[in-house]
Structures are given as C-alpha cells and as structure tokens.
C-alpha cells in the first residue's frame, strides 16, 4: 500500500537525521502528509508518539556508543540533541535504567529500541461500513478528563465513574434530556506527547445556561466527517464502549492506509444510541474530521 511505503519513507528520514534537529513537519512531508494526520496515524499504529520514537532511537544509538567504550558523556549528549548532560542522563536512565556513565562499564544491561518497519498483513476481516457526512457546528456540554496514555483503559474508567456518581444524569438534566439518555464521547486537544482531552456530553440548547462545573465545547461550524458504524450487545459483563475500541483500531490499521482522506484537526466523536426501549442493545459510531488528500 502507498501509505505504508510513505510511512517507511518517514522512518528512513528520521534515521538519517538522528544526529541533527528533526522537525516533525519535515517528517510528515516525507510521508506526503499533514503534521496532524501523520502524528495521529503514527501514534495509532505504533503506540508511540513521533517524539517518543525519535527520543528512544537516539538513546538506543547513544547507549551503543557508550557501551564498553570511553567516549565522553557530554559529547554523546550533544551528538544526540541534548543541551546538557543532566537532561541526557535523566532521559537515559528513564529508558535504560542506568546512567550513561554506568553504561560505559562492562556487563551492563541496556535496552535496544530498533527502527520500526511497516508490513502489509492480509487477513480475512469483515468489511467496514462508513459514510461521508457534512455536519454543521453546535455547542456541547459535558464532563471532561485529560487522557494521558491509554484511552482503552482511562476512558472506560472515566465513563463508569460519571455513571456512578450521578454526573451522567446531571448532564442530561442540564441539557433538558431524559435521564439515562446516552451521551456522546468527544476526543479533542490532541497534544504531541500523546495526551488529549475526552468529554462525555451532548448537544446543548442555546436557550439554556450551562452549569459552572461542566465544560462547554464548540464544534466547528462546517466540517466533513467520515463515519464508521459499530454494534454492541450490552450485558452485565460488557460495558458500553467495549466494541468501539476495535472500530478505532481498524480505522487506522485498515481504512486510512488505503483511503484518499486524511484526518484534520478538530474533535473526534463517539456516538451511542439505544436500539430499543429495554436499553440492552446499542449502536455506536465513530466520527473523524477529514479532508480529501491533494
């Protein structure tokens, strides 16, 4: 696939510039992609941010040079982009568990972070249902949390918490909706360190005043979204949102690499709907803001 070849080109660019300043915009250009889309794709496919990957590769090469050798720590630090031995030592210990000076000794265990490679995997998976939608902007009200690392762990815990502490019902009440109505999830403010904000909320009428303890989020006035469908049977053993994780994985692993669209800045939305009055089965959708490439 062309996208996988371009990702390999980006990795090659990083490898040839590990001893010089690397600007993420330039890495994204090597993949013929926008900076925002490249960072989201890279993190979704690898589990690392681009910055983390570059840092780990530099520290791997630095450890190889220091291992059993006599090169100065300060020279190695400067070679791999660190302004001071102190900053280099702190990062080195975080990855390798030992200081740079200790790494120069014999029989010291160090970690190796090899260059990434991308390969095509042919699997008998089911088709993905999607549609392209033009959506007008609107105001959202809800409760937010900062997701630091693993959304598959942090988001479900947050959702369970607001169900139990009454915040879910309070949001519906503030928006004039029935208690128990399903809220939507909004991912936004994506940072280069991989963190983001996640808000559980709903559309907020313009004739109401938002409670001060809730967050107000404005969606763009005109946005194109790609929308993917999911389905979940809700039982006592399955929480709302379990199936959505697989939808997210397939979007970045299967759809984006072969599509002529790229993600743009703006909130991504998880929408949930009850399929019957028993509130047992639900339908889920993932909405991602996109634009056509080129």
pLDDT digits (tens, 9 = 90+) for 7-58: 899 999 999 999 999 999 999 999 999 999 999 999 988 888 999 999 999 9
Question: Of 132, 120, 76, nearest to 99 (Cα)?
Answer: 76
Please give the Cα distance from 140 to 201 (Å, whole number). 6
- The string of pLDDT tens digits covering residues 196-220 is 999 999 999 988 899 999 999 999 9
Percent of the chain surpassing pLDDT 90: 63
> For the chain, which domains are there?
2-103 (1.10.10.60), 130-292 (3.20.80.10)
State the pLDDT confidence band at 232, using cuts at 50, 70 and 90. low
Contacts of 247 (CB under 8 A, 6+ apart): 228, 229, 230, 284, 286
Please give the Cα distance from 86 to 196 (Å, whole number). 29
* Helices and strands (H and E) in the chain: how many: 10, 9
What phi and psi, each to the nearest 5 degrees, are found at residue 188?
-155, 180
Question: Of 172, 197, 193, nearest to 183 (Cα)?
Answer: 172
Please give the Cα distance from 20 to 293 (Å, whole number). 30
pLDDT at 281 over 90: no
Helix (H) or strand (E) holding 3: helix 2-16
Tell me what the pLDDT averaged over the chain comes to: 88
State the pLDDT confidence band at 120, using cuts at 50, 70 and 90. low
Q: What is the pLDDT of residue 235?
A: 47
Render 104-115 in DSSP notation, one character per residue: TSTT------PP
Q: Bigger pLDDT: 195 or 231?
A: 195
Q: What pTM value is reported for the model? A: 0.82
If DSSP codes are grouped into helix, strand and coil, which group holds residue 151? Answer: helix
């Amino acid at each position: 696939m062309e996208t996988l070849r371009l990702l390999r080109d980006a990795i090659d660019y990083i490898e040839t510039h590990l001893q010089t300043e690397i600007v993420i915009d330039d890495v994204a250009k090597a993949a013929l992609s926008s900076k925002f889309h490249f960072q989201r794709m890279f993190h979704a496919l690898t589990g690392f941010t681009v910055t983390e990957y570059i840092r780990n590769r530099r520290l791997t090469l630095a450890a190889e040079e220091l291992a059993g050798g006599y090169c100065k720590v300060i020279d190695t630090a400067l070679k791999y982009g660190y302004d001071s031995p102190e900053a280099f030592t702190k990062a080195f210990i975080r990855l390798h568990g030992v200081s740079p000076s200790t790494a120069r000794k014999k029989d010291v265990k160090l970690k190796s972070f090899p260059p990434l490679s991308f390969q095509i995997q042919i699997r008998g998976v089911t088709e993905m249902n999607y549609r392209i939608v033009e959506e007008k902007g609107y105001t959202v009200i809800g409760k937010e949390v900062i997701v630091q690392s693993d959304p598959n762990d942090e988001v479900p815990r947050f959702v369970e918490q607001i169900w139990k502490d009454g915040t879910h019902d309070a949001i519906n009440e503030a928006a004039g909706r029935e208690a128990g109505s399903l809220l939507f999830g909004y991912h936004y403010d994506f940072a280069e360190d991989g963190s983001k904000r996640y808000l559980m909320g709903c559309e907020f009428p313009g004739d109401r005043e938002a409670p001060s303890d809730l967050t107000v989020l404005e969606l763009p006035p005109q946005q194109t979204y790609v929308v993917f469908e999911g389905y979940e049977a809700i039982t006592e053993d399955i929480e709302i949102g379990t199936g959505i994780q697989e939808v997210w994985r397939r979007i970045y692993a299967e759809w984006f690499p072969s599509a002529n669209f790229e993600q743009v800045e703006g909130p991504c939305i998880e929408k949930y709907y009850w399929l019957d009055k028993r509130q047992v089965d639900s339908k889920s959708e993932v909405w991602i803001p996109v634009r056509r490439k080129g």
